[in-house]
Amino acid sequence: MTKPTDDHLPLGTTKQWATMHTWLQRGILVCLVALVIEGSFTLPFLAIYYGYPTLGFRDICSELMKVRYNDDTLECKYPYDFPGPPFGGAAEAAGINTAKDEWGVQPKPQYPRIGFRELIRIHDERIARQQAEQNSAPAHP
Amino acid sequence: MRIAAAIAFLQMRRWGHQWLIVTCWFGVVIWVGYVMNMTVFADLRYTGTALPVFGWWLYDIVYITPFLAIPYLHTVNREIFSD
């Protein structure tokens, strides 16, 4: 951006506001570029944080269901019903009362917070536990 | 509305300039509401996060564009826009 001079001002800028316009333009440009970068990296970052590509999107979805409702049997529906909730039918949590959250004017979520790629460990531990149970089952009929 | 206003603004029409200011105010309203929403009960919202409030501000601060664009648009020379 060139420094505005008296005889050569950008279109629409008056001499009175020349300096302020320069700084506002810089600020706006920084913000708009940052917003584009932020917007394009948010979802990839979340996907990697939750465990992609080790876990697929369906696995991540199901792991999150298990965590927030504190129930290992829950799975995400795929393919999803159409028109499914929220466009029709019972809500996702309808009939599920295993969640530990405290409800009220300000609900308090009581599910454990998910750390960086922690869902992979949770997923692997559950699979290992289930396999161990299956293997030990015939020994004790 | 904002897309239409932006196109008209680029075509240097007066109503495009005016509506860009109006939709910038929508952005201000949304920003203030969002800040309130995320600040009230922040202790609950950010339990267990790495950089609780600071990290959220870092993410949110770039949404202040309307605060910069409103003074800019108000000080643009209006004479050059066509009615």
Report pLDDT digits (tens) over B6-58: 999 999 999 999 999 999 999 999 999 999 988 888 887 887 777 888 888 88
> Partners of A102 in the beta sheet?
A108
> Nearest residue on chain A to B12, judged by CA atoms?
A12
Q: What is the dihedral of CA A52, A131, A65, A41, to 10 degrees?
A: -10
Answer yes or no: do A13 and B71 touch at CB < 8 A: no
| Residues within 8 A of B (CB atoms), A 101-140 only | 106, 108-109, 113
Reference B23, options B8, B3, B40; nearest CA is B3
Name the token pair of B25. Answer: 């105010």
> Partners of B13 in the beta sheet?
B82
| Residues within 8 A of B (CB atoms), A 87-106 only | 106
One-letter amino acid at A82 equals: F
Q: How far is B79 from chain A (nearest CA, A)?
A: 8
Q: How far is A63 from chain B (nearest CA, A)?
A: 19
Q: What angle do CA A140, A129, A121 make, to 5 degrees?
A: 175
Higher pLDDT: B71 or A107? It is B71
- Residue whose token pair is 């080790």: A54
Residues found in chain B: 83
A29 in reach of chain B (CB within 8 A):
no
Residue A1 confidence (pLDDT) above 60: no
Q: How far apart are CA A28 and CA B21, in angstroms?
A: 14
Backbone φ and ψ of A102, nearest 5°: -95, 125
Answer yes or no: do B68 and A31 touch at CB < 8 A: yes
Q: How far apart are CA A25 and CA B65, in angstroms?
A: 10
B34 in reach of chain A (CB within 8 A):
no
Q: Residue B45's pLDDT is what?
A: 81
| Residues within 8 A of A (CB atoms), B 64-83 only | 64-65, 68-69, 71-72, 75-77, 80
Here the ipTM equals 0.85
- Residue whose token pair is 């309307």: B66
Residue A4 confidence (pLDDT) above 70: no
Task: Write out chain A residues lying below 8 Å of B45, CB-based.
Answer: none
Residue A3 confidence (pLDDT) above 60: no
Say what the pTM is.
Answer: 0.77
> Partners of A108 in the beta sheet?
A102
DSSP A15: G
